Amino acid sequence: MLFRSLIAVAALAANALCADVPTISAKGSKFFFSNGTQYYIKGVAYQLTSDDPLVDGNQCKLDSALMQKLGANTIRVYHVDASQDHSSCMTTFANAGIYLFVDLDTFDTQIDPTTPSWNQTQLSLFEKVMDEFQKYPNTAGFLVGNEVLTTGNNSVAAPYVKAAARDIKAYRNSKGYRNIPVGYSAADIPALRPMLQNYLACGTNASEAVDFYSLNAYEWCGNSGYQQSGYSELEANATGYNIPIFFSETGCNKPEPRTFDDQSAIFGSDMSKTWSGAIIYEWIQESNNYGLISYGPSVAPTAPNAPPDGFTRSGTPTPISPDFDNLSKQWATVSPAAVSENAYSPSLTPPPCPAYTAGNWEVNGDVALPTLGQTYNQQIQASITGGSAAASASATPSSTSKGGASGNVEITGMGAGLSGLLFAAMLWL
Ligand SMILES: *[C@@H]1O[C@H](CO)[C@@H](O)[C@H](O)[C@H]1NC(C)=O
Ligand SMILES: *[C@@H]1O[C@H](CO)[C@@H](O)[C@H](O)[C@H]1NC(C)=O
Ligand SMILES: *[C@@H]1O[C@H](CO)[C@@H](O)[C@H](O)[C@H]1NC(C)=O
Ligand SMILES: *[C@@H]1O[C@H](CO)[C@@H](O)[C@H](O)[C@H]1NC(C)=O
Ligand SMILES: *[C@@H]1O[C@H](CO)[C@@H](O)[C@H](O)[C@H]1NC(C)=O
Ligand SMILES: CC(=O)N[C@H]1CO[C@H](CO)[C@@H](O)[C@@H]1O
């Protein structure tokens, strides 16, 4: 009896904590709320600390309130600690109408581009993150990797990314979790376009493909345009794509101030029938200078009591002017071409698996995916590349990109931020 009433009390408490918000699923090339309205992502990358920004309920309250003013409905978090309790932050974000895309990998489980592996150790750790975050109705999606491939000649890692999606989707289904979409976040490398996005979606067996694809693209800088930036090519590549696609990072920061003019293209008539929105890199101001807010002026790391890299990572967020307001205005004025789920019956088919092309796409698309634990060696390399020599010159990322920023700006963006933080954390220890 006592036990039963304790359970009842616990259930009540859990209900009070879990906001009742519609969940997200993918249908054809679009995302929908469970109430039938199409979901367009207006997101910000949110990684205040390198290990987990979703454990400090108070901080999440402060940040989510300002994100609502910005007009955001989504955050992306790159690294979490699955063993922590995330209920306070997740409920706070849910109450603010904010959904989460979370990367499943941690620094030691990410797929290595040159000697790729996909094994039980990695899968088990991915599963722990999924176990924790599937509980929350505002978890919109999971990412199996971020920018694993950065050149045409390391495309041999792509089958391992796809195998990770296969296995974590099978796990999701075996546990009876809801169909939370599983996807990949790609670096914007012209040499890999559109092969990588087609490869991850291709094949007749949807259980072996990603549920969505997303791109970290910094092509639109300053006073640019739909054609000039290269977005028209992104659109051409994505037209007819069978699964949702969106910008998992965007927001070139040179020249300043940031105007976010690309948002009117992404959410406008040129792209909003194909793309599901954008995540702006990033919330916190740090040394890479992509922040929308700061928690106070930066100080010299050597100053007494200074935070490791000089940037305060908690407290009351203050908008960076005019960038924050510029983005807020952009988002407030867009009206994407939404359809309702009932009215949408897609007849899209997966793209064909791309053929091996030396330097640009060194994967024989039709070869079977690696099994869990299958080690990368010469034999498997030969099967992936169809027997051709993998080593060959590849186009440099910037050579064909149109914007002021080359395809690898986001690597310095995200990479510099996090590695700076890690380095600082090591000094701190
Ligand atoms: C469905 O839910 C979303 C998110 O809460 C909301 O923006 C939208 O207005 C809702 N649609 C309907 C038809 O209630
Ligand atoms: C699995 O892959 C990870 C990451 O590459 C590696 O560190 C680990 O040693 C591998 N584990 C096994 C059991 O092979
Ligand atoms: C589709 O892929 C899954 C995962 O690899 C596999 O279990 C299933 O048998 C495949 N279905 C068909 C029809 O081949
Ligand atoms: C896709 O993008 C690539 C690289 O930007 C471009 O060369 C190619 O023509 C595009 N494909 C289509 C179908 O537009
Ligand atoms: C792979 O491509 C990169 C960038 O294009 C180049 O620097 C590197 O030398 C290439 N590696 C091999 C093994 O061809
Ligand atoms: C799109 C937008 O709001 N742009 C504004 C960004 O901020 C600068 C400086 O205040 C304004 O001049 C722009 O109009």
Q: What are 342-368's pLDDT values in tens digits?
A: 999 999 999 999 999 988 899 987 789
pLDDT-derived band at 197 (thresholds 50, 70, 90) equals very high
Q: Which of 147, 219, 341, 410 is catalytic?
A: 147
Which residue's entry shows tokens 């409905």?
Answer: 73
pLDDT at 232 over 70: yes
Mean pLDDT of 397-405: 26
In contact, 139 and 102? CB cutoff 8 Å? yes
Q: What is the pTM of this model?
A: 0.89
Helices and strands, number each (H, E), in the chain: 11, 12
Q: What is the mean pLDDT of the chain?
A: 87
Q: Give the C-alpha separation, 45 to 312, whole Å.
A: 17
Which residue's entry shows tokens 């489980």?
Answer: 109
pLDDT-derived band at 231 (thresholds 50, 70, 90) equals very high
Number of residues in the chain: 429
Which CATH class, in words, describes the domain spanning 2-428? alpha beta
pLDDT-derived band at 17 (thresholds 50, 70, 90) equals low
Mean pLDDT of 209-215: 98
- How far does the centroid of ligand 3 lie from the alpha carbon of residue 166, in Å? 9
pLDDT at 41 over 70: yes
Mean pLDDT of 44-62: 96
- How far does the centroid of ligand 4 lie from the alpha carbon of residue 346, in Å? 24
pLDDT at 411 over 70: no
Q: Give the C-alpha separation, 374 to 258, whole Å.
A: 45
| Percent residues over pLDDT 70 in the chain | 86
* Of 19 and 329, the one with more pLDDT: 329
Q: What are 87-106's pLDDT values in tens digits?
A: 999 999 999 999 999 999 98
Q: Where are the domains of the chain?
A: 2-428
Residue 249: active-site member: yes
Most informative mutation of 252, 292, 326 for ligand 6 (most atoms within 8 A of CB): 326
Q: Note the pLDDT of residue 66.
A: 98
Q: Which of 219, 235, 249, 362 is catalytic?
A: 249
- Cβ–ligand 6 contact at 222 (below 6 Å): no
Residue 341: active-site member: no
Residue nearest to atom 1 of ligand 2 (CA): 119
Mean pLDDT of 74-79: 98
Q: What are 118-170's pLDDT values in tens digits?
A: 999 999 999 999 999 999 999 999 999 999 999 988 799 999 999 999 999 99
- How far does the centroid of ligand 5 lie from the alpha carbon of residue 375, in Å? 22
- Token code pair at residue 273: 């029938």
pLDDT at 424 over 80: no
